[in-house]
Chains A and B, each alone.
Chain A
Amino acid sequence: MKQLEKGRISSFQYMCMLLVVRITATSVTFPFMTDHESPTDAWIGAAIGIVVSLVLLELIVRFSLNFPNMTVIQYSQSVLGKFLGSIAALLLIGFWVFDAAVAGRAMGNAMVNAFMPETPVLVFIIVTAFLSANGARQGLEITARWSELVAVGVVMSALLLALPFQAMNFQNLLPILPYGIGPHLKRAAIIVAIFLRYSVVGMIVPYVHNRKEILRYTRIAVLISGAVLIAQSIVLVAVFGARATSSAVPTLQLVRQITIGEFFERIEIFPVTLWLLNNGVNMGLFIWASSLGLAQLFGLNRFEPLTYPIGGLVTLLSMLLFKNYVEQIHYLIRVQPIFVPVLVLGVYALLYAGFSIRKLVLPKQGNLEAPMILEAGPDEIE
């Protein structure tokens, strides 16, 4: 089989990519808080979501490690056969393109709302999609190095959350579980949906240098980003109280409150810069994954020429998906928590079912259609 992507990344870079993917979803917009009941104890929902995601991701990554040298697109066909496998692969690719578009639109809207109200949102999306596609075109290694640069910065900028400590009032956190556990389960669903964007690891795993560390670094990534999320939800409530639910971009508002001395006002420029870069890298990763996936699915010789068209598709989709900001928020809060888990978990469940059936039936017949099962030695799985 032709090697389309020649890059190799370290497991640390792998972790940084996961951090970038996760933090993008809650940096500018914060769907987890906006328009929810029971904001005061939001961290409970976050904690539930993180635990569930940890379990689900453990399963997904372990399953991917059964095929250490294949991407999810490649093994979907050998597991499910040509027809079903192609459908599963296309669903995943479609989801990645779709998700890049959602992220791009969220970023564009935030830029227009917060900084440059006179510029059309399309400008920001086109520029970001072009740069991301350009980055994706250079291969996984470049995206990985970008993630390293950006992830470190984002985790550091999360420290900014501690700066408005004078405005914090921890009494705001107090009524715990005033509405029961119900709202928190809804929240947890959002968190799970966000973490399920990690379905993209199916594309990355075969290119990680040290596969034995993948599981460990996945867990670390989930825990770090989970910690940031919990801190975010606690700080937001401590500063804004119940008002936190009414803002579409609460984190941005929070950072805007920070002034250092009398002179350094509006230092939100630094976290916002980082978030923008973060978003670009995230889009780049998804564009890379879908280009490579498509190339592998249709047996192309190179994936690089696909990146710009997919970047264009992302731009187009991001404009067409939502008529306005309200629809976007509606998607993030009401649609996403059902749509994403059904799609991703459905595809992976299908793959797993196919895999188990093959494992039960095929080795006895010695079928050569599934050679990859033999490749997975016991030492490859932790």
Chain B
Amino acid sequence: MLRNLVRKIKRFSQSERNKAPGETRGTYKHTPLSHVLEVNEARIRQAFGDSFDLVCRRVAIGKHGSIAALVVHLNEMVNPQFVSTAIIERIVDKTEHLTDPNTVYTQIRDSYLDLTDVAETHDLHKVAYEIANGNTCILVQGVAKAIVCQTQGYSQREVSQPTTESTIRGSKEGLVESLAVNLSLIRRRIRNPNLRVEQFTIGEVSQTPVALVYIEGIANPGIVAEARQRLSRIKVDSIQESGQLEEFIEDAPLSPFPTLLRTERPDRVTGNLLEGRFAIITDGSPFALIAPATFSMFLTAPEDYFERFFAGSVIRLLRYLAFLLSLTLPSLYVAITTFHQELLPTPLILSIAAQRNQIPFPAVVEAILMEIVFELLREAGIRLPVILGQAVSIIGALVIGEAALRAGLVSAAMVVVVALTGISSFVTPIFSLAISVRLLRFPLMILASALGLFGILAGLASMLTHLLTLRSFGVPYLEPIAPFVAGEQRDVVFRAPWWAMNRRPRFVEAQTDKRVAPGQIPRPPEPEQTKDPGR
């Protein structure tokens, strides 16, 4: 049924798609610029509907100020000082000896501007969109062309610590909302001309710049082409966050599991680029999308690679355990207290039974109730103004924990279970996976209350079947585990030391897949080579 629904949705969206892929900036018609400056100015003003932040500065240039020119930009999107010194000052000063408008125009375009990025256009709508993009346009009386100067200078957040993915060891830089800054953070980590950045403009209204980043020669060209194609066929009015973009390009739109990894850390982006993946960076969002994403990536933290490999492996194992606990612990509690009391050692089950004796609800109601309360607390904790934070912790700790226990509404064991589940769910390094686990916990509890452990098993099995069918950009979601790839086990549950991780994942196909030169295990120097054998 779901499948039919998806097919219908797909068919619908296909019939709506009328334009050729690749053309994203297709909304404006071609309107040539006029030779008359006043006409151009009027049209630009009309295009912006006389917005008060549109600055149309008339400048008299040429010999004795005989030629009229127009400098247009949006006040708050440009760096005003830059516009005045690098553009206005220079075009007034330098053109003093010239009389012919065409010469003035070409001279300005080719030599006078103190800028690195200058372009030219004949099209009025292009001019309007460039202005909206934070660029400055120069028009000269008698010339039906415009010079587009890159002068973007809007306010942006400083590079700061990533708030959702913090680490103890490793870079403290996080991505920010500006595409340019993000690209610089990535370029600085991979200083190689093979790092490719392709720009897309997505959103008919918002005209959001989106960058597709990959490393030529490492990334699989087929996968990159697929990404390019998926990006260029998006037709939407605006993209405000990479999450929106994700829903347009993911492989399994109806799956509870994320098939693109989102991250706030530039080092995670570059690490994945080096493994042959690509990244999509959206202007206005500090979250980069990485694909092809496999399940194990969501349980990987950057520290695994920076700390010593024993520690990294053990902590990663712990994280897998936490993932399982956060998914199944409440349902296990329900199943065991309802059906399989014999599974627990007698003293323990006696103590649980004694507590449960006074509880008015069946175990499943108790569990669902407590889980909902916990979800409420968690949601409140996120939305709450920081100043009120204490209130929630008091309510949480005292009312939910202590009072509910005393009142005999919930058993102490249940509180422990919910707390443990909560803690475990915070261990998942990537929040988007943690959310899906939060949702999947509830159907499992209901299954457990109906069929006990068998129900949990049935739920997990259908979940696993679903996971096995998932693909991210053609790569099976559970890739190194099933289908089993023996060589890639060194970076799944355990992390092999760096000198042993010599291969890139399998989907990198026929490209350079040697990462580390062989035989680099550090060894102490041979005894006869040491200069001072006595020590």
Contact = CB atoms under 8 A, between A and B. Distances in A.
B464 A149 contact: yes
A280 B461 contact: yes
B343 A269 contact: yes
Interface string A342-370: 00000000000000000000000000000
Interface string A126-167: 011001001100100010111011001000000000000000
A229 interface: no
Quick one: which of B454, B461, B462 has the most chain A CB within 10 A? B461
B57 interface: no
Contact of B454 (A116, A138, A266): A116
B129 interface: no
Contacts of B476: 145
Contact of A142 (B339, B343, B465): B465
B387 interface: no
Contact of A127 (B342, B451, B468, B478): B451
Contact of A263 (B345, B457, B464, B478): B345
Contacts of A280: 461
A269 B453 contact: yes
A148 B484 contact: yes
Nearest to B453: A269
Residue of B342, B345, B458, B482 with highest tally of chain A CB at under 10 A? B482
Nearest to B462: A131
A265 interface: yes
A106 interface: no
Interface residues of A, number: 31
A149 B479 CA distance: 12
A149 B458 contact: no
Contacts of B484: 12-13, 148, 152
Contacts of B478: 145
A149 B481 contact: yes
A124 B455 CA distance: 9
Interface string B466-492: 001100000010100111100000000
A239 B339 CA distance: 30
Interface in B302-351: 339-340, 342-343, 345
A111 interface: yes
B465 A135 contact: yes
Interface of A is mostly: helix
A261 to B, nearest CB: 10
B72 to A, nearest CB: 57
B457 A119 contact: no
B452 interface: yes
B-side binding surface: helix, strand, loop or mixed? helix
Contacts of B462: 131, 134
Contacts of A237: none
A131 B465 CA distance: 9
Given A145-B483, A146-B482, A138 B457 contact: no
A221 interface: no
A265 B345 contact: yes
Given A142-B469, A145-B482, A149-B482, A127 B458 contact: yes
A124 B461 contact: no
Contacts of B340: 115
Contact of A13 (B345, B452, B481, B483): B483
A123 B345 CA distance: 28
A10 interface: yes
Nearest to A142: B468
Contacts of B481: 149
A148 B454 contact: no
Contacts of A116: 339, 452, 454
Nearest to A273: B457
A277 interface: yes
Interface in A146-195: 146, 148-149, 152
A291 to B, nearest CB: 16
Which of B339, B345, B478, B483 counts the most chain A CB atoms within 10 A?
A: B483
Contacts of B339: 116
Contacts of A234: none
Contact of A134 (B453, B455, B465): B465
A118 B325 CA distance: 28
A266 B343 contact: yes
Interface string B240-271: 00000000000000000000000000000000
Given A135-B465, A148-B484, A265-B345, 15 more contacts: A115-B452, A115-B454, A116-B454, A123-B451, A127-B455, A142-B468, A145-B482, A146-B468, A146-B482, A148-B482, A149-B481, A152-B484, A262-B345, A269-B343, A280-B461
Interface of A: 10, 12-13, 111, 115-116, 119, 123-124, 127-128, 131, 134-135, 138, 142, 144-146, 148-149, 152, 262-263, 265-266, 269, 273, 276-277, 280
The 4 closest A-B pairs by CB, nearest first: A145-B482, A145-B468, A148-B482, A135-B465
18 contacts: A13-B484, A116-B339, A116-B452, A127-B458, A131-B462, A134-B465, A142-B465, A142-B468, A144-B483, A145-B482, A146-B464, A146-B468, A148-B484, A149-B464, A149-B481, A266-B342, A266-B343, A269-B343
